[in-house]
Amino acid sequence: MQIARAPRPVAMQQLEQLPRRVVIGVQGLAMRQGHRWSWVFPGNALAANRALEQQIHKLLAGVGLDAGAMMRLNREGGPELFAFETIHMIRPAADRGIGHLHRGQRVLPPTPHRFKRIDELA
């Protein structure tokens, strides 16, 4: 499971600027066009081996736009790009509790959590 913080706008207008604005593998990406939102979580992108450009195309498609809309990214009337931090909860097997948190490629913290069901977090 991935838990996300609130998205924040990414100040950029060209795809080449994105790797300097977000931490790939730790932060997810979201896009808004009007009232429509599209999301790519980092764990899903890593699992699918989806490159950054592929993630952007997925976001564009999710808000009903094609690749040509990149020219209007973060401009008046164009799609808005956001980033959000996530924490991954890892469970080694379906019948075992969550063993650790995973953020990017580093395990945090090293001591296991002792709950078995997510509703025990509430």
Any alpha helices (H) in the chain, and if so which ranges?
A: 42-47, 52-62
Distance CA 37, CA 62 (A): 7
Q: What confidence tier does 106 reach under pLDDT thresholds 50, 70, 90?
A: very low
- Residue type for 16, please? E
CATH topology of domain 1-122: Dna Ligase; domain 1 (3.30.1490)
Write down the domain spans for the chain: 1-122
Instruction: Please say whether the dihedral angle defined by the alpha carbons of residues 91, 92, 97 and 103, taken in this order, is positive or negative.
Output: negative
Selection from 54, 3, 51, 55 nearest residue 31 by Cα? 55
Nearest Cα to Cα of residue 81 among 114, 58, 50: 58
Q: Is the pLDDT of residue 84 over 90?
A: yes
pLDDT per residue over 14-68, tens digit each? 778 888 888 887 899 999 999 999 999 988 888 888 988 899 999 999 999 998 8
